[in-house]
Structure 1
Amino acid sequence: MVDFHQTKDFFHIPDGLTYLCGNSLGPLPRDLPAALTSQLSAEWGEMIIGGWNNAGWMNLSEKIGNRIGRFIGAPKDTTIMGDTLSIKIFQALGAALKLNPKRKIILTDNSNFPSDIYIAQGLTAFLNQGYKVKLVNPEEIINEMNDQVATMLLTEVDYKTGIRHDLVELTTKAKLEGIVTIWDLAHSIGAVPVNVQKADIDFAVGCTYKYLNGGPGSPAFIYTNPKLLTQIQSPITGWLGHANPFQFSLDYEPASTINRLIVGTPPVIGLSVLDFALGIWEGITVEDVHDKSMQLSEKFIDGIKSHCPTIKVISPENPVDRGSHVALEHPEGYAIVKFLIENSVICDFREPDNIRFGIAPLYNDAADIQRAVEVLTMAMEYQPWKYEHYQSRNFVT
């Protein structure tokens, strides 16, 4: 059994702060600054350019990719790191359309993260070959699958409400219709169990700065079904995706491995930070974390219903149907979030009226839940939206 009291000590949470925003950015691992400083001094400082060979920098994307693969049930050497999530979505979409050249529809839902939709819209406009992004309600996805759909792009856990798509059911249906599947696991990895191999997913992408605590802007990942590795064509053909990058050939020849989805030079510092953060997970499974998350989220929802009945819980009642954040709805959501933050309970806001509380058992416990309910109750009594100060918005919400 995991001792979550012990794992909480692995993180730096400022004194007096209740941090419930791990669905947006995980906190700093306590021992990371000293470890990273030592590593940079020993490798970059002493080896300088020799670090590419002597410190294994050039292989970090593959090494960390295999560590990430453990979280999503991926076979060895099918997950690679680097770049941002937007770039990885662009790669997956471009490759998916090439795999289904006679079809013209990218199917997604209108609750998907806007950036995913923007990437799809931008790619179709750039190609200018009759492709169309079809947006439907989440519950309509399964009935919109047909022989016109080239690829399905979905985020498993809704970034606002926390609602989980049925990944297995939708993937199975898509396969029957000949649709290439792309799953964004940004709010899944490190929060809920996922098995891309068992579900026979074609592509999976995700970020690592939320529940994996890789730090602001830490590198993203992309997984490819091993059956497709030698077939896929990336729309971005960077030098390290070449079969022989240090031959510096003027003609591109893709690597025969997952490396064909590497774009540029490995972000060594970002990957080193992530590598350290992943060490916290040794001996811990996502199933362990998910079980504890469901317990804490149930406690939180019960507290809201008892003490703040005018706030609507919009996350699913059944804990297995939601991710690891709980979403509330109130017309004065922004003012409420600002009040909470000023009283040292950190959560976040999404337009137009969504209040999100991320629950990460590696560092959140029952005391955090109790404090959040207490301060939210105070907010509803104080009614901060009546005051101009709480209507003034920051750029990042």
Structure 2
Amino acid sequence: MTTRGRPFYEALDAQDELAAFRDEFDLPDDRVFLNGNSLGAPPKSTWDRLSRTVRQEWHQDMNAAWWTHGWLDLPTTVGDRIGHLVGAAPGQVVVGESTSVNLFKLLCGALQLQSGRRTVLTDHDNFPSDLYIADGVAHHVHPGAQVTRVDADTIPDALDEDVAVVVLSHVDYRTGRILPMNEINKRAHAVGSLVLWDLSHSAGVVPLALDTDDTDLAVGCGYKYLNGGPGAPGYLYVSTRLLPDIQQPITGWLGHAAPFSFEADYRPAPGIGRLTTGCPPLLSLVALDEGISLTARADPALVRAKSSALTELFIELAGERLAPHGCSVLSPRTPAHRGGHVALRHRAARRLVERLATEGYMAELRVPDLLRFGLSPLFVRYVDVWDSVTALERILADAPGDPAEDQP
């Protein structure tokens, strides 16, 4: 049992090399955001960027701003900035649409590339939307395909020559468990399968090396650790070796080789541009650009080190102070296997999350019994870990309540 008190955590904050980044976020004084793995905090610079886009670029130049201010290029320029964060060379990432729509595009493209193979292999604990999309593609677009769900640990053993594509989340949205991307890619490629990764809970907080790991395809969202704001557009990655041949099902005009020629027949654009569809969501896109620009200024090694330290301290305190009250830690204990959030299990999870919110600690419920704490290293402090566990311990001790009342 540790005897560390709050001064220990205050000292860690004083030594934190990333501490200055907190001042660049617009954070309220009366709340602590512990759900950055769901929605990142707004950078202060976002307000100025949005104001400039609306008041100057849109107001002054109107339609000409698409060209004079590079609006039409933002899906690929912001895509390259994301590519830098996830270890992808330029020209392989584009921004637009939601993560689910992008997953739909790439899954259809993967099945087209893998003609003759029928199986889409996935983890039965994958994010539900990813499962829904896979089922929808098999049912509506590729009726010959079949979706097979297995335990994540058995993915390598389930690979065979009928598997067209494996669809996985790099970091589990519930527990924070990291899957071994490089290893799974190699095992899949050995039998001729492609792998499509969802990076939504890893990009911006967990080191990624898509090119080095010989990744085929990936998608991700912009509103979690990239701090792009609610509803920020998602992004997709296609390896350079697949770009010449991949086709997508939503062939909109901005994915055309010459969109302003207004040809009646579709010709896909060369490169990553062929994965675009319609007009980019400009205001959301410039907000995302600000979030990415801020995230990209931080040393990735420092980000990962602080993320691991925050989650390690939270797990340590939870084991000492919350376990006696019925809380158990679901997240992996080994830092190398753990993403940027910690999951606790308690039968009264709903009530606990609600009570924490009344005291200013914004965590998340995942029904029926999980509490998630997203510890975004650019704006969460070590003392926030101490304070939030202290608050949760007090709530548990003061009013344990009837856990049955919290079941859905």
TM-score w.r.t. length of structure 2: 0.93
Shift in CA distance, 62/2, structure 1 to aligned 2, threshold 3 Å: farther
Match status 1:284 vs 2:298:
yes
Match status 1:334 vs 2:350:
yes
Residues 10-63 of structure 1: CA deviation (Å, up to 9, x unaligned): 111211211110000001112321332123211001001110111111111011
Give the secondary structure class of the aligned counterpart of 1:232: coil
Match status 1:47 vs 2:69:
no
TM-score w.r.t. length of structure 1: 0.96
What letter is aligned with 2:333? E
Runs of 4+ in structure 1 off by over 6 angstroms are none
Q: Output the CA distance in 1 between the equivalents of 2:212 and 2:45.
A: 36
1:215-364 matched pairs, under 5 angstroms: 215-309=229-323, 310-364=326-380
Q: Output the CA distance in 2 between the equivalents of 1:384 and 1:47.
A: 60
Conserved 8 A contact 1:73-1:195: yes
Match status 1:383 vs 2:399:
yes
Match status 1:36 vs 2:44:
no
Give the secondary structure class of the aligned counterpart of 1:196: coil
2:6 is matched with none
1:333 CA drift (Å)? 0.9
Q: Output the CA distance in 2 between the equivalents of 1:157 and 1:128.
A: 27
Conserved 8 A contact 1:336-1:385: no
Q: Output the CA distance in 2 between the equivalents of 1:370 and 1:270.
A: 34
Match status 1:178 vs 2:189:
no
1:365 is matched with 381
1:55-204 matched pairs, under 5 angstroms: 55-127=69-141, 129-204=143-218
Match status 1:4 vs 2:3:
no
Q: Output the CA distance in 2 between the equivalents of 1:127 and 1:35.
A: 40
Residues 109-145 of structure 1: CA deviation (Å, up to 9, x unaligned): 0110000000010111103532111011111111101
What letter is aligned with 2:395? A
Q: Output the CA distance in 1 between the equivalents of 2:93 and 2:403.
A: 50
RMSD value over aligned CA atoms? Answer: 1.6
Residues 122-171 of structure 1: CA deviation (Å, up to 9, x unaligned): 11110353211101111111110110111000000000010111111001
Q: Output the CA distance in 2 between the equivalents of 1:100 and 1:128.
A: 12
Conserved 8 A contact 1:26-1:209: yes
Conserved 8 A contact 1:192-1:287: no
Give the secondary structure class of the aligned counterpart of 1:133: strand
Q: Output the CA distance in 2 between the equivalents of 1:290 and 1:111.
A: 25
Q: Output the CA distance in 2 between the equivalents of 1:127 and 1:296.
A: 44
Q: Output the CA distance in 2 between the equivalents of 1:241 and 1:128.
A: 22
Conserved 8 A contact 1:163-1:315: yes
Residues 329-377 of structure 1: CA deviation (Å, up to 9, x unaligned): 1111111111111111111011221110001110011110011110110
Conserved 8 A contact 1:234-1:261: yes
Q: Output the CA distance in 1 between the equivalents of 2:31 and 2:267.
A: 52
Q: Output the CA distance in 2 between the equivalents of 1:3 and 1:279.
A: 18
Match status 1:210 vs 2:244:
no
What letter is aligned with 1:334? R
1:17 is matched with 31
Residues 263-298 of structure 1: CA deviation (Å, up to 9, x unaligned): 110111111111122222353132221110111111
Tell me the percent identity: 37
Number of equivalent positions: 392
